[in-house]
Amino acid sequence: MTTPRGRRAALILAALAIAAAPAAAEELEGLLEDVTGEYAQAYLAPFTHSFGPNLNGGIFHTAAIPRSRLTIEFGVKATATHLAEEDQSFQTVIENVDLSDYDNTFASGTMGDIVMSGPTVFGDDEAMGSVAGYINGVQVFSQETIEGLVKTRYSPMAVPQASLAGIAGLRATVRWLPEVDLGEIGKTKVFGYGLQWGINTVAPTLPIDIMVGFFNQTVEVGTLIETDASSMFVAASKAFPLATIYAGYAKEDAETDIAYTYGGDDSAVAFTVEGTQESRFTVGATLNVLAKLNVEMGHGDLTTYTAGLMFGF
């Protein structure tokens, strides 16, 4: 059963993605301030690896693009990337390092191994992580670190989306939110843009609709997180009286920058994580009754589920 704290933390992670809650970013930064950069990279790994797949999900829900009739759609797309059980915990071993960099009770030049372990950001929110030092296999110190933020197997996100189509078989799509002031962390920005073109514009007798397109987007959570994601895709769909079935293939990438201040010595920590997913296959269906309600699954290195609700004319 999810605890009240767990529910709040799940909302925090979703809010971070759509830049809606200043307290959310502050809570995550507060946790990271207690750990070094090596620890933070392992702790955040399931979040940074799933952020790009989430952003690149739900970009389209049909391949049909009108050739001359202007259409407008707006709504929201919610995505969740499924995580493996092993993504809820981590262990990192750093060999032959100066132990005084991790525990100031040791003289400079005391060499040994460091073992970092514990829950990740999506791990147990009631268990603490640890950093332990070893010399010749014997533990010489151990320090508690931070707990998980929320125990879950899904990394959530939601973004508003709008599109304009009907000029020369083109559809322009945008994702945007106004800046939100996060106080000491800074401002948050969400912006994405893309273009799709319907091949049926020049081949109107095709039995299915086919289109190609691209999408680029950037999310900044103050100075803490900045993610750039892009996708190039081809998709096909078939319309029925009440529903449209669609499928697609995409080549994609993402890059996430993390920056914060480590409270142990007030040093600046910054690192970049490249996305692990390079492609995905997508299958989905859109129910066309008053509004457009779609559900889809995208499968690549990770599996991402998307639900969207779009209105328009």
CA dist 112 to 91, 103, 108, 140, 143, Å? 17, 12, 12, 9, 15
Query: DSSP readout, 111-163?
Result: EEEEEEEEE-TTS-TT-EEEEEEEETTEEEEEEEEEE-S---SEEEEEEEEEE
CA dist 52 to 56, 114, 183, 257, Å? 6, 30, 26, 12
Whether residue 96 sits in one domain with residue 36: no
- The domain boundary residue, chosen from 119, 147, 175: 147
Six token digits for residue 307: 């639900």
Whether residue 247 sits in one domain with residue 296: yes
- The domain boundary residue, chosen from 110, 130, 147: 147
**Among candidates 128, 102, 144, which has minimal Cα distance to 265?**
102
Answer whether 95's CB lies under 8 Å from 239's CB: no
pLDDT digits (tens, 9 = 90+) for 32-46: 999 999 999 999 999
Whether residue 224 sits in one domain with residue 295: yes
- Angstrom distance (rounded) from CA 165 to CA 206: 20
Six token digits for residue 242: 């009440």
Residues in CB range of 266: below 8 A, 6 or more apart = none
Whether residue 183 sits in one domain with residue 102: no
DSSP β-ladder status, 209-221 and 187-198: antiparallel
Whether residue 176 sits in one domain with residue 224: yes
Whether residue 162 sits in one domain with residue 136: no
Binned at pLDDT 50, 70 and 90, residue 189 comes out as confident
What is the Cβ-side half-sphere exposure of residue 152, based on CA atoms within 13 angstroms? Answer: 23
Whether residue 135 sits in one domain with residue 100: yes
Whether residue 175 sits in one domain with residue 133: no
Q: How many domains does the chain divide into?
A: 2
Instruction: Report the SS3 class of residue 2.
Output: coil
Strand partners, 155: 81
- The domain boundary residue, chosen from 127, 147, 167: 147
Whether residue 59 sits in one domain with residue 26: yes
Whether residue 269 sits in one domain with residue 218: yes
Give the domain extent around 114.
87-147
Judge whether residue 177 has pLDDT over 90: no
Q: Count CB-CB contacts under 10 A for residue 276.
A: 16
Higher-confidence position of 294 and 13: 294
Can you give the pLDDT at residue 45? 95
Six token digits for residue 218: 């950037």
pLDDT digits (tens, 9 = 90+) for 40-98: 999 999 999 999 999 999 999 999 999 888 999 999 999 999 999 999 999 999 999 99
Judge whether residue 164 has pLDDT over 50: yes
Binned at pLDDT 50, 70 and 90, residue 178 comes out as confident
Query: DSSP readout, 7-53?
Result: HHHHHHHHHHHHT--HHHHHHHHHHHTTS-HHHHHHHHHHHHHHHHH
Can you give the pLDDT at residue 24? 59
Whether residue 108 sits in one domain with residue 212: no
Whether residue 241 sits in one domain with residue 98: no
Six token digits for residue 99: 């132990």
